[in-house]
Structure 1
């Protein structure tokens, strides 16, 4: 793992608030978008009025806003990074993060295959025990991505020593779905931007081998790292674009981010402008939509609603937007009446605090 950048922050309290905000904001956007993930904009408006989704849409008589696989996988990513930092800090054993991340995704896959923790398979030899896989609320199958499921079953652990050269990865080499992007924010919470980019891109190759699939994940993590360090969102994106250009095959990801920034400069956000960036099913589009909405909307609430009111992968774009807004403004900048209704809110906050503690201790 890498040296911290805590000296650039106003203090540990700001850092903790940003880590909490990132994970909680992602869950909030995810929960807003999940009920309309497969709905067209016309159907969303027909069911909810011309403004579309204006708050949580609850299932049945529930008053809990359900999160999807986006938040689930983000949490397992965070857990793996906590384990990697802790192992290096307490045992002096570094360099094993890639295997820990793969093991974490295998644990997530167990939650998608079984009704509860009592049915989950025991961890592989050497893999950590306990943690998120023991929490019953995570055993919910919420439309997991095909590439994520098929990729994890191949049990591939990336080699961090290899250069990111723009060639297809070993697993799902043609896949650039957004499933690697939506889980990658935690890499930016405990690393410098360069290291976050490299780690997230490598971890993305566990399931998504297309260069745009893994570069978009790396770019997202790098943007988050710049935000943690106190940069503006536009500044974070522009710095990440310079980082991207050092890597062969970056063009699709760079073009999507540039289009998002240019569109945001026009002001006057609309759902139709969101849809001009795509539907969010593929990596660079999900990232671009999340960035555009976070840049252009006048408030956190407006940005989150903008990010889910479109035809396409509303929970993933909402999750990306929420991660960005949460790390930019901290958990206190998120709508608290919404946060109180998010599924697993207390457990997500506790995991965020554990991740922040590891970042501070470094």
Structure 2
């Protein structure tokens, strides 16, 4: 059956969201812990303008690694549910994060099959075993709580790391917005799964807002409208004030000033969830009138004194969802580590959530139930 133009466009946006996140991650990783003046001294007044050269792929970090494991857990949760098994999607994502944790503490994968939950095709990808400054709350949330704990109600501190609102909730949550779930379910699942490691309400609400925003962009809503609709979606929720304020600040700065590194830093530094989301949204909006909005947004998102790789990854997810993989610079998408695996996951999301068939042959048995 020939794919319709609408389906082809949606496929391009889903692929773009995952590839774009990895591109932003790889752009920001070399300067993650540098101040803006240090970046400019090293790279020139325009800062980082492209990926590192050389014969090896441009490295990605825990941001892209955890995004892939989030997608795997999301798919396996629905495979289990649609196959008649028990348990929740958040339990399946918890299992995926346990697999990610394994990659941070052991060497290259053994070819021998491993028992559940240490199974799955992602564990056979050597590049995922690199340890590149993973967040403390992500590590402790999974390692100190190996048994799934149900999330709290919205507005209340979650059971794990209840005071943590680091950006690790946001940088991994794009897949919830790429599964045709609708903005409410995308938001809800991202909120639940953010609480697997971060219990502060702002930390998990920012992740939910991000997932809902990705959903809107991937289904064709224009960026300014998508941000406005997302703010309205969360405005009245308990404990949403910090996230709403961060998004409002991003909109205001984008309206008031020309795109610049200084404007990015007016929104925040990105180490905490709402600032990371706000800075990525600022870069998306500030670049909309530029002749090359994708490249401009990604450059804005990494050239500052804050968490360059995470803001870059989140911005990359957003611009990829908004403009599609075909709009991303080919020399960047072709150079990133894990490109084939990112495309595989994007297409698996499309197959499963388009067909609602957990036994679809195109999935190739890559996602056992659970």
Number of the residue aligned with 2:148:
157
Quick check: 1:67 aligned with 2:57? no
Q: Distance in 2 between matches of 1:258 and 1:239?
A: 12
Listed as ranges, the matches of 1:236-315 within 5 Å are: 236-297=226-287, 298=290, 299-315=293-309
Number of the residue aligned with 1:343:
337
Q: Which runs of 5+ in 2 are unaligned?
A: 357-370
Q: Which runs of 5+ in 1 are unaligned?
A: 1-8
TM-score by length of 2: 0.90
Quick check: 1:57 aligned with 2:52? yes
Q: Distance in 2 between matches of 1:123 and 1:312?
A: 40
Q: Distance in 1 between matches of 2:269 and 2:112?
A: 34
Listed as ranges, the matches of 1:114-263 within 5 Å are: 114-118=106-110, 122-124=114-116, 127=117, 129-153=119-143, 154-155=145-146, 157-159=148-150, 163-164=153-154, 166-190=155-179, 191-263=181-253
- Alpha-carbon displacement from aligned partner over 1:252-293 (angstroms, at most 9, x marks no partner): 000000110111112410100101111100000000000000
Maintained 8 Å contact 2:167/2:272: yes
- Alpha-carbon displacement from aligned partner over 1:221-251 (angstroms, at most 9, x marks no partner): 0101111221111111111111212311000
- Alpha-carbon displacement from aligned partner over 1:177-215 (angstroms, at most 9, x marks no partner): 000100001001112111111110110001000011000
Q: Distance in 2 between matches of 1:45 and 1:181?
A: 27
Quick check: 1:98 aligned with 2:90? yes
- Alpha-carbon displacement from aligned partner over 1:305-346 (angstroms, at most 9, x marks no partner): 110000010000000100001011111011111111001111
Q: How many residues align?
A: 347
Pair 120,35 (structure 1): closer, same or farther in 2 beyond 3 Å: farther
Quick check: 1:11 aligned with 2:11? no
Pair 128,139 (structure 1): closer, same or farther in 2 beyond 3 Å: closer
Q: Distance in 1 between matches of 2:5 and 2:221?
A: 12
